[in-house]
Amino acid sequence: MMKPAPLPFVVLSRSSQDVRLCQACEQCRDLLAEGMDLTFGEIMHLAARDDERAITCDSLWRCEPLLDKMGQCPSGIDVPTVIRTLRQEALRRGYRPLTATPDWIL
């Protein structure tokens, strides 16, 4: 079985967003919805390091209420697009949220 493509490449090739540009500015640090175990910045950094926790964390599936409230990222990253791209990759690799998946996620 082939090893999956690195997450930074997957995100860049599918969304034109480069997660490696996240500067840990902490703008999204306080954005947490119920059930989120990681912040958006932590997800960006995990994805940039090709750490599978970026696609296995609960936050990936619990953050939808916050995506439309995101301000402009100083690094120019479209965070909602990255999150949705990571969800697609998680599903492609066989990861599923622990709870029922709402239709808006897929």
| 58 domain-assigned | yes
Q: Which domain holds residue 58?
A: 7-94
24 near 45, Cβ under 8 Å? yes
Residue 93: how many other CB atoms lie within 10 Å: 12
pLDDT band of 97, cuts 50, 70, 90:
confident
Residue 53: what pLDDT?
96
Domain count, the chain: 1
Asked if residue 104 is part of any domain, the answer here is: no
Percentage of residues in the chain with pLDDT exceeding 70?
A: 92
Count of CB atoms situated within 10 Å of the CB of 94 = 6
The reported pTM is 0.88
